[in-house]
Amino acid sequence: MTSRSDKLGRMVSLVKLQLRLSEWQLAHLRQQERSLQDEQEWLVGALNGGRPPAGSSSESIARRLNRTSVGARTVQVQAAQQLDQVRAESRRVKQLQEVAKAALADKLRDAEKRALEEMTGISPAVRAWMPRPANRDKI
């Protein structure tokens, strides 16, 4: 049977992996956001330049800029939600680490207690059944 501290250790590692995945997803959303902003800047520059690029009209660039702006807002909302999730998972990791640390300390204390009992040769269960020695100081 595995101990509580071992189980908690595995849970901590799993939650850390989930946190890393969430952080990666946030980084991916931020990258998308930057690329959409770059595209918006280029489109605005193309509209303000007076002469649109070959094969494009001002209207098509304006439509594309509108779609890009909507996409950028959507990605910003998703990134904000993902950031909240990353923060929540980070708090969860810290809490689980504290619980796992306490469980490991309990496990080590129990092991030390058993080792001490083995050294003295008396376990608490045996000690409870043994008669108490008579007090020799009584008159």
Weakest mean pLDDT among 61-65, 84-88, 102-106, 134-138: 134-138
In a domain, 48, yes or no: yes
Contacts of 39 (CB under 8 A, 6+ apart): 68
Report the domain count for the chain: 1
DSSP class of residue 50 equals S
Model confidence over 48-79: pLDDT tens digits?
A: 877 777 777 888 888 999 999 999 999 999 99
Separation of alpha carbons 52 and 50, rounded Å: 6
For the beta carbon of residue 16, count every other beta carbon within 10 angstroms.
Answer: 16
In a domain, 134, yes or no: no
In a domain, 37, yes or no: yes
83 pLDDT more than 50: yes
What band does 124 get if pLDDT is binned at 50, 70 and 90? low
Domain of residue 84 covers 4-129
In a domain, 136, yes or no: no
In a domain, 105, yes or no: yes
What band does 114 get if pLDDT is binned at 50, 70 and 90? confident
In a domain, 108, yes or no: yes
What is the reported pTM?
Answer: 0.68
In a domain, 16, yes or no: yes
| Rounded alpha-carbon distances, angstroms, from residue 39 to 26, 42, 68, 106 | 20, 5, 7, 57
Tokens 């189980």 appear where?
Answer: 7
Return the CA Rg of the chain. Answer: 33
pLDDT at position 129 is 65
Tell me the two tokens of residue 45.
């520059």
In a domain, 31, yes or no: yes
Tell me the two tokens of residue 37.
């902003």
The domain that holds 11 is classified in CATH as 1.10.287
Model confidence over 5-48: pLDDT tens digits?
A: 888 889 999 999 999 999 999 999 999 999 999 999 988 888 88
1 pLDDT more than 50: no
